[in-house]
Amino acid sequence: MTRTEHAYLNDTFLFEHNGSKVVNVSRSENEPKQSVVLLNSTIFHPQGGGQPSDVGIISDGQTTFKVLKAIKSGEQVQHLGTFEPEDSTFEENAIVHQTVDKDSRLQNASLHSAGHLIDFAVKLIGFDKWTSSKGYHFPQSPYVEYNHNGQYTKESEIVETLNVELDKLLKKNENVKVEMVPYDKWTEIPSYLPAGEPVRTINYGGICGACSGTHVNTFGQIGSKITIKSAKKKGAVVRVSYKVE
């Protein structure tokens, strides 16, 4: 099985790429009207980690493949979509040009990065017992969840304090640090990351973790404002809902 090189890991702001090779084209098992295109390298971020996939087009100069969704399957990234013309296809080993929808990519990266910045803000306001458990960074009602481990005050106080802290962080506009760490030098590696390969770590103000999503380069690139809408406790979990402007 040919492993897909994940070129999007190197640069969130890479929207076009030329020179990838077609590995295989097949019909989708779940969507009969759609095809699955495999490439030796891709700039399309697959859905995962609470983040939606990129969309866009792949073209060999004559035939266009509209990428409706990208998903990860083992070591491969599958591009699901439709050919134009409908009865066309790519030949194996064809060299193609990839174009990611810029607006969608930047929105996804912004919402995802906002979730990481909220992690940092949570620690800064003193909720050091909170541990991340889930993130949903889709445009429809994004949120992050934490195990509160018994540390919780009034919701209104948490919301107000977080909003003040996030405003400060956006104005400071610090850099987001990305580093590839040797596999044997990193602990708590997520199970979905390839064993033995360097681990991509993301650092927001000292909150560092393994992550394969798309990220902005500075806090300020997230947007002009992150607003915490609610911080509702349900059992052992706190769900912090937010929006980015």
Would you state the pLDDT for residue 240?
Answer: 98
* 40-54: average pLDDT: 95
CATH number of the domain enclosing 129: 3.30.980.10
**Do 67 and 181 share a domain, yes or no?**
no
Same domain, 228 and 126: yes
Regarding whether 130 and 51 lie in a shared domain, the answer is no
In this structure, are 118 and 183 located in the same domain? yes
* HSE-CB for 170 with a 13 A CA cutoff: 19
Residue that has been written with the tokens 């013309």 in this structure:
85
Are residues 115 and 168 part of one domain?
A: yes
Q: Could you write out the DSSP letters of every residue in 70-113?
A: EEEETTEEEEEEEEESTT--PPTT-EEEEEE-HHHHHHHHHHHH
Q: How far apart are CA 217 and CA 174, in angstroms?
A: 9
pLDDT confidence tier of residue 1, bands split at 50, 70 and 90: low
Same domain membership, residue 225 and residue 116: yes
Domain that holds residue 203: 105-244
* 141 shares a domain with 218: yes
Do 116 and 45 fall into the same domain? no
Read off the CATH number of the domain in which 73 is found: 2.40.30.130
Do residues 44 and 67 make contact, with C-beta atoms less than 8 angstroms apart? yes
Give the pLDDT confidence score for residue 30 in this predicted structure. 86
Distance of CA 114 to the CA centre of its chain: 11
40, 62: one domain: yes
Question: Does one domain contain both 132 and 53?
Answer: no
Q: Which residue did the predictor score with more confidence, 195 or 14? A: 14
| DSSP class per residue in 110-172 | HHHHHHHHHHHHHHHTT-TT-EEEEEE-SSSS-EEEEE-TT----HHHHHHHHHHHHHHHHHH
Tokens standing for residue 59: 């073209």
Q: Which residues pair with 84 in a beta bridge?
A: 64
pLDDT at 151 over 80: yes
Residues 85 and 133 in one domain: no
Q: Residue 209 to residues 116, 134, 170, 201, 217: CA-CA distances in angstroms? A: 10, 14, 20, 5, 16
Q: What is the overall mean pLDDT for the chain? A: 94
pLDDT 10s digits, 172-223:
999 999 988 888 777 766 666 667 778 889 999 988 888 989 999 999 999 9
pLDDT at 10: 85
CB neighbours of 221 closer than 8 A, spacing ≥ 6? 110, 113
pLDDT digits (tens, 9 = 90+) for 68-126: 999 999 889 999 999 999 899 999 999 999 999 999 999 999 999 999 999 999 999 99
Number of domains in the chain: 2
pLDDT at 96 (0 to 100): 98
Note whether 153 and 230 are same-domain residues. Answer: yes
Q: What is the mean pLDDT of the segment spanning 33-49? A: 96
Centre a 10 Å sphere on the Cβ of residue 101 and count the other Cβ atoms it contains: 16
Q: Which amino acid is at 37?
A: V
Stated pTM of the model: 0.93
